[in-house]
Structure formats: structure tokens, C-alpha cells
Amino acid sequence: MKIDISLVYALLFLWFGHGFLYAQDDTNEDLSTQEVLVVKSYTPSLSDAFKITEGPKIPDSLKATNKTLIYKIIPIDVVSTFEPNKATPLKLKKRSSSTPYNTFFSGGFGSKSQLYLNISSVIELDRTQRFGLNVYRDGFGSDVGNSLLKSSQSFSQFGAHHNLRSNNYNVNTQLQFTAQKNNYFGLYDRNWDDFLFGSLTPEVKRNYFKFRTYWDWFDSFLRSLSFQANITSDNFTTSEQQLNVKADFTAPFAGGKFQANTEIQGQNSLFSQPFFENQTQEFTQGIGKVGLEWLYNENDLKLKIGAGVAYFEGDESLSSKLNYYPEIEVFYQKKGNSIAPYLTASGGVRVNSYRETAIFNPYIAPITELRPTFNRYNAMLGIRSSVSSVLNFNFGLLYDQVENYQFYQRLPLDIKGSNDAYRLSNSFENKYANVDLYGVKARLRIDLAKNNFVHLETVYRHFELTDDQVMYNIPALQMNWKSQFKFKDILTLAFNGEVWGNRSALEHIILQDQANQSIYPEEISLPLFLRSSAHLTIKLNEQFDAFVKGRFSNSDIHGQWGYFQEPSLLLLGGVTYKFDFQY
């Protein structure tokens, strides 16, 4: 039987069409999905290796156009009385340099022929070095009232400084020359012979030279090393040389830090103008020190426990050449407490020099005895208190045993050498006494605002002498203060001052009989002495300042040293100019 092929195609079409319609009507049956993974090994063609692929293209920002963002703000009805001000463009302001000017010049004139000059410059040589220069001059040329001899004063200083710094160390080297001029004018109130004054030159001129270099390492067992050399001379052919070498070592130890310090100092002082004998006097002295300390700073406790030993050669006045002393600091402050107790004890042996004595008391004679001073304990027990970092108070009890405590005693009249001004019983010499010292010390600091503060300090000491001596020109009460007030970086007012309480002094009574002069000492009491200064600075602009200085004292007849009165009032005014020095 013959089958028509067209009939077969028609039947197949009807069968598939029926199935498709049936699947669309059946909504409850899910369609299944199958994934087929075809794996074919990669067979690269050798010609692909030589194809040059096209790199990514970055659109040219100069030619590309920015798309404009279009948005609509849907208005919302609100009730408001706010009316915005018209916007004004900000004005570009020049920022002041964060670094100060590297050079400043300050000069002024004042009463009693005062001349003030201060020039300082610090120049950065490169990123690791800088060099500085300083020239300073101060003093007055007129005489103090009621002084029979010339009584002007001057102080001049020139210094150079070099600093080398890196990540591992810091080196400071200093060279300084100082010239100081005073007069031995402190004569007793009596009828002096005018003919004698005509041949006197009361000036004493002293020159000080200092060279010092200090090396400081940050992460090293050798923490610091310093060397210093001093040379002192005067117009009476006095000479003094000093050498000092000091090294500090540090290392971690037992949760804290171990620290050791060593020091060697040598000194030679030659006085060629004897006061009573016709011979020169020379002092050659040396000292070596070693100190060991353990420092601990953890939580509420700060602790330093150690001791030192000093060996002195060249003088037999101390009870022993080898002397021991403590190095102790204990400070405890519990978190949240404003009161903290503390204990310190830091003794030591000090070499007294003509240089240090003359700087503190310029009327010392160009010949004096030099002995070492040994502070056995130099202890202080007290409390510190702080209220909101504004009010800080420190009160402590003092105790010490001192061998060769240094004080100043007035020399008598030397008739044989009356051609020298310092021989008219108007100069001082060093004296020494063994004492037990008791006292109290109080400090108060008030920080009112940034760079505004008031600092007061008071010390009262009681001396018990082991020998039958009287310590002259040493007050029991001493006070000092300093303060600063700034007003909107335009005005700066600073105060400094000190008070010396009542003290005993030795006066050599000189009788009027010129043929047979009799000299005998008498103890007198010097009244309270006050010296205070004020400094007002007005900022005119970024580079110019104007200043006014004033110094007041209640000297009258007796100044700090007795019969060396000071000007009751000194005024000085000047300007300061700051600029950048280019080299």
C-alpha cells in the first residue's frame, strides 16, 4: 500500500501542535532546567603568539564632556520667617609664618645713662645644622646717689652657638665671652680725706670665657657627654682656670632604668694681690664623682633610688676626702587625688670658685679663700597639690648638714695698701662654717590662661652653727616671684622680683684719728632689701615691638650687701625689630 508523504507531514504537525497547547494549559507543572558543560582542550595556534593586543584607552579629559546632572526639587510648603543673607565671597588672607624670625635687634636708652643692646640670630645651615650669634650689653653710666666713689655698672656678653642634630644624637657647642665692670664704692658714712679719693681707681673689671660642648644620644648606653672649660681674669692680675668632664650612662633594669653619672673637675686659682701678706696665694683643687641611680616610673609611683661618692683633693678642710651622699626621689600620686607626697635627698660636694663667687657678689675682693662645700643630705619632705591644672602648690620641710657653708664677711681697712679701693673696708672675703640647716620652702603657681601665670616662692632657713661663729650677709628669709600677663597678643606685662630678709653684717669702725687709726669690728643688722622689675612690651606689627623696663629697690643706704646702695628707680625704653637674615 502506497502512503502519501504529505499525509504523514500533516499528522506529525497536528501531534506536535497538540502537545504544545497542552503544555501551555498545564500551569501546575514546573519546567525543569538542565545545564550542559562542554569541555574542550585549548589548542592555541602558533600565529596567536604574534598578535599585538590593543591596549586600554583612557579618554582625553580635555576633550571629554562632563555629563550634566539634571534633578528637580520638589517644593514643600513650610512656615518660616528666615531670610538668608546675600552670599559674599571669602577674601584671601595671608597666613603668618609658623616659624619665628631668625634674627632680632633690640636696643634702648634710659635714666642714669643706661644703654641697652641685644642682638640675636639663629640661622639654619641645612636640615641638620644651625648656627647662632648673640651680642648683649646692659648697665648704667651715671653714679648712684650719695656714693663718694664712682659707682657705675656695665655688663657685656658675646656668644656663638652651633647645633648638630640627627635621628640618633644631638650636639650643642657654645662659645661665650663676658665682661663685667663694677666699682668698690661701698664706703662707710664718715669724713673721708678728699685727697685720698683723688688717687683711687675703684673699678674692678672681670672677664669670663666659657667653652662648652654637650653630646646627647637617644638610644645608647652612653646617654650624654659634656666638656666645659672656663677662664676667669680681672684687672688685679687674678687668673682662674677650670676644666670639667661629665658623662651619663643609662640602661633598662628590673622594670625601670639604671643610670650612672661620672664627673671629673679640676681648678687652679691664682691671686697675685695679697691683702695682708706680701705673697701670692694659689689654690689647686680637683674632684671626682660617681653616682648610681635606679629610676622607676609606673602607675602612681615615681621612684629614684641611688647614692653618690666624691673624692676631693687639694684641701684638708673637709672631715674626709671621700664623701658619700644620697640621690633619692620618691613621688606618689594616686589617680584622682590632687595631693601627692614626696621625698627628695640630693647631696653632693661642690668646688667653690672665684668665678661663681664674683658673679653672685661682685664686690668680693680679688683675693679670697676657696674651700669645697659638702651637703650631706640636702633633703626635702613635702606635698604637692594641683587643682584643675590651674593652681599648683608645693610645700616642704628642709634639712641638711653642711660642711663649709659659704658666706661673705666684710674685710677691714688695710692702711698699707690704701691706694687700692678695695682695701678701704669696702670689699668682702669668703668665710665658711659647719652648720645644721632646718627650714621650710613653699611654692605657688597660678596658670590663669595661655602664657599667663603667677609664680611665688618663699624659703625660711634656720642655721645651727657647730662652732662659735656668726654667718654674715645670709638672710633667714628669702622670697622671689615672677609673673606674665598677655592681652590679645598685643600687650605683654612681666614682673620679677626678690626679697632678702633681715641679716647680720660686720662693720669695721674706723676712728677719726688719722695718726693712730684704731679698727675694731661691730655687728650690725641690715634691713629688709627688695628689688623688683617690670617689663611692658607693645606689639606694633609683625616685626616691630616697643618696650619699657623699670627697676625699683628700697636700697637707700644699705643695699643687698650693706653700704652698696642701688638706684631707687631705673627706667628704660626701646624697640625690638625682627627679621629674617639671608646668607
pLDDT digits (tens, 9 = 90+) for 434-462: 999 999 999 999 998 888 999 999 999 99
* Cα distances (Å, whole numbers) of residue 468 to 35, 318, 402, 433: 118, 18, 16, 9
pTM of the model: 0.79
Spatial distance between the Cα atoms of 245 and 224, rounded to a whole number of angstroms: 11
Query: Is residue 505 exposed (0-12), middle (13-18) or buried (19+ Cβ within 10 Å)?
Result: buried
Straight-line distance from the first to the last Cα atom of the chain, in angstroms, rounded to the nearest whole number? 124
Q: What is the pLDDT of residue 86?
A: 53
E-state strands within 219-355: 222-234, 239-253, 256-271, 281-298, 301-313, 322-332, 339-346, 348-351
Q: What is the pLDDT of residue 514?
A: 46
Does residue 189 sit in helix, strand or coil?
A: coil
The cell for 48 is: 596567536
350 and 376 in contact (C-beta within 8 Å)? no
- Neighbouring C-beta atoms of residue 26, cutoff 10 Å: 8
Spatial distance between the Cα atoms of 413 and 519, rounded to a whole number of angstroms: 8
Domain 236-502+517-579: which CATH number of 3.30.830.10, 3.40.50.300, 2.40.170.20, 2.40.180.10: 2.40.170.20
Spatial distance between the Cα atoms of 285 and 313, rounded to a whole number of angstroms: 6
Q: What is the pLDDT of residue 334?
A: 81
Query: Is residue 366 exposed (0-12), middle (13-18) or buried (19+ Cβ within 10 Å)?
Result: buried
Spatial distance between the Cα atoms of 485 and 75, rounded to a whole number of angstroms: 57
Where along the chain do its domains lie?
236-502+517-579
Q: What is the pLDDT of residue 519?
A: 60
Q: What is the pLDDT of residue 12?
A: 46
Spatial distance between the Cα atoms of 177 and 190, rounded to a whole number of angstroms: 39
Q: Cell 562542554 sits at which residue?
A: 38
Q: Which residues make beta-bridge pairs with 164?
A: 129, 171
233 and 242 in contact (C-beta within 8 Å)? no
pLDDT tens digits in sequence order for the chain, 583 residues long: 444 544 444 444 544 444 443 444 444 444 444 554 444 444 554 444 444 444 444 444 444 445 555 545 555 554 445 455 555 555 555 545 545 789 999 999 999 999 999 999 999 999 999 999 999 999 999 999 878 889 999 999 999 999 999 989 999 999 999 999 999 999 888 777 777 777 788 999 999 999 999 999 988 899 999 999 999 999 999 999 999 999 999 998 877 899 999 999 999 999 988 787 777 889 999 999 999 999 988 878 899 999 999 999 999 999 999 999 999 999 988 877 888 999 999 999 999 999 999 999 999 999 999 999 999 999 999 999 988 778 999 999 999 999 999 999 999 887 665 678 898 889 999 999 999 999 999 999 999 888 899 999 999 999 999 888 889 999 999 999 999 999 988 999 999 999 999 999 998 876 654 444 546 788 999 999 999 999 999 999 999 999 999 999 998 788 899 899 999 999 999 999 999 987 6
The cell for 501 is: 630678709
